[in-house]
Structure 1
Amino acid sequence: MGWIAAVAALGMAATLSGCGGEAGGGDVTLKLVAADYGSTDANTSKRYWDDLARAYEKKNPDTKVEVTVLSWKDVDREVAKMVKEGNAPDLAQIGAYADFAKEDKLYKVQDMVSVTTEANFLPLLSQAGEVHRVQYGLPFASSTRLLFYNEDLFTKAGAKPPTTWAELQEAAQKLKDKGVKYPFALPLGSEESQAETLMWMLAGGGGYRSKNGDGYAIASEENAHTFSWLRDNLVGKGLTGPVAPGRLDRQPAFDAFAKGEVGMLNGHPTLMEQAEKAGIKVGMVPLPGEKGKAKAAMGVADWMMAFKQNGHRKEIGKFLDFVYRDDNVLKFSGDYDLLPVTVTASQQMTDDPAHKELKPFLQELPTSVLYPVGETSWAAVSKSIKANIGKAVESKGDPQAVLDRIATDAQNAEAAE
Structure 2
Amino acid sequence: MRFERSHTRRAMAVAVVGSLALLASACGGDDGSGGDSGSGGGTALEGRGPINFATGKDTSGNLTNQVNAWNSQHPDEKVTVTELPESADQQRAQMISNAQIKSDAFSVLNLDVVWTAEFAANRWITELPEDQFPDLNKLLPSTIDTAKYRDKLYAVPVTSDGGLLYYRKDLLDKAGVQPPKTWAEMQEACTKVKALPEAKTAGCYAGQFEKYEGLTVNFSEAVNGAGGVVVGDDGKPNVDTPEALEGLNFLVEGFKSGMIPRAAITYQEEPGRRAFQEGNLIFHRNWPYVYALAGKTDGSSKIAGKFGVAALPGKDGPGVSTLGGHNYAISEFAKNKATAADFIKFMSSEERQKANIEKTSQAPTWASLYDDPALNKQFPYLAPLKASIETAKSRPKVVKYGDVTTAIQEAAYGALTGTTPPKDALAGLQTKLSSLITQ
TM range (shorter): 0.7 to 0.9
Q: Normalized against structure 1, the TM-score is what?
A: 0.82
Q: Work out the CA distance in 2 between the residues paired with 1:317 and 1:249.
A: 33
Cα distance, 1:106 vs structure 2: 2.1
Q: Work out the CA distance in 2 between the residues paired with 1:159 and 1:231.
A: 25
Other structure's SS at 1:214 match? coil
> What residue is the counterpart of 1:65 in the other structure?
79
Mapping 1:17-416, distance limit 5 Å: 28-38=49-59, 43=61, 45-49=63-67, 51-58=68-75, 61=76, 63-73=77-87, 74-88=90-104, 89-95=106-112, 96-110=115-129, 114-178=132-196, 179-191=200-212, 192-210=214-232, 212-232=233-253, 234-243=254-263, 245-277=264-296, 278-280=301-303, 281-294=306-319, 296-310=320-334, 312-348=336-372, 353-372=377-396, 374-394=397-417, 398-414=421-437
Q: Work out the CA distance in 1 between the residues paired with 2:270 and 2:337.
A: 38
RMSD of Structure 2 on Structure 1 (CA)? 2.9
Q: How many residues align?
A: 387
Change (3 A) 1:168 1:398: same
Change (3 A) 1:322 1:287: closer
Moved over 6 A (4+): none
Q: Which amino acid aligns with 2:367?
A: V
Q: Work out the CA distance in 2 between the residues paired with 1:145 and 1:203.
A: 12
Change (3 A) 1:194 1:161: same
Q: Work out the CA distance in 2 between the residues paired with 1:66 and 1:238.
A: 46
Cα distance, 1:177 vs structure 2: 4.7
Cα distance, 1:104 vs structure 2: 1.9
Change (3 A) 1:218 1:314: same
Q: Which amino acid aligns with 1:72?
A: E
Assess if the C-alpha contact under 8 Å between 1:35 and 1:93 holds in 2.
yes
Cα distance, 1:327 vs structure 2: 0.9
Other structure's SS at 1:97 match? helix
Assess if the C-alpha contact under 8 Å between 2:202 and 2:279 holds in 1.
no
Change (3 A) 1:216 1:353: same
Q: Normalized against structure 2, the TM-score is what?
A: 0.78
> What residue is the counterpart of 1:18 in the other structure?
none
Q: Work out the CA distance in 1 between the residues paired with 2:403 and 2:241.
A: 19
Cα distance, 1:218 vs structure 2: 2.7
Assess if the C-alpha contact under 8 Å between 1:3 and 1:37 holds in 2.
no
Change (3 A) 1:68 1:257: same
For structure 1, the 5+ residue unaligned runs are: 6-20
Change (3 A) 1:340 1:249: closer
Q: Work out the CA distance in 1 between the residues paired with 2:134 and 2:207.
A: 42
Assess if the C-alpha contact under 8 Å between 2:156 and 2:344 holds in 1.
no
1:340-382 Cα shifts (integer Å, max 9, x gaps): 112344444786533334332133222222323x312222222
Cα distance, 1:48 vs structure 2: 2.5
Q: Which amino acid aligns with 2:226?
A: G
Q: Which amino acid aligns with 1:222?
A: E
> What residue is the counterpart of 2:22 in the other structure?
none
Change (3 A) 1:52 1:93: farther
Q: Work out the CA distance in 2 between the residues paired with 1:148 and 1:323.
A: 28
Q: Work out the CA distance in 2 between the residues paired with 1:119 and 1:190.
A: 36
Change (3 A) 1:34 1:396: closer
Q: Work out the CA distance in 1 between the residues paired with 2:275 and 2:348.
A: 36
State which drifts further: 354-363 or 322-331: 354-363
Other structure's SS at 2:437 match? helix
Change (3 A) 1:333 1:216: farther
Change (3 A) 1:140 1:201: same
Cα distance, 1:223 vs structure 2: 0.8
Q: Which amino acid aligns with 2:355?
A: K
Q: Which amino acid aligns with 2:311?
A: P
For structure 2, the 5+ residue unaligned runs are: 6-42
Change (3 A) 1:285 1:222: same
Other structure's SS at 1:147 match? strand
Cα distance, 1:286 vs structure 2: 1.6
1:50-73 Cα shifts (integer Å, max 9, x gaps): x13313415xx4x34333233332
Cα distance, 1:183 vs structure 2: 1.4
Q: Which amino acid aligns with 1:83?
A: A
State which drifts further: 70-79 or 334-343: 70-79
Q: Work out the CA distance in 2 between the residues paired with 1:376 and 1:325.
A: 29
Cα distance, 1:383 vs structure 2: 1.9
Cα distance, 1:164 vs structure 2: 2.3
Q: Percent of aligned pairs with the same residue?
A: 18
Change (3 A) 1:44 1:152: same
Q: Work out the CA distance in 1 between the residues paired with 2:265 and 2:3.
A: 19
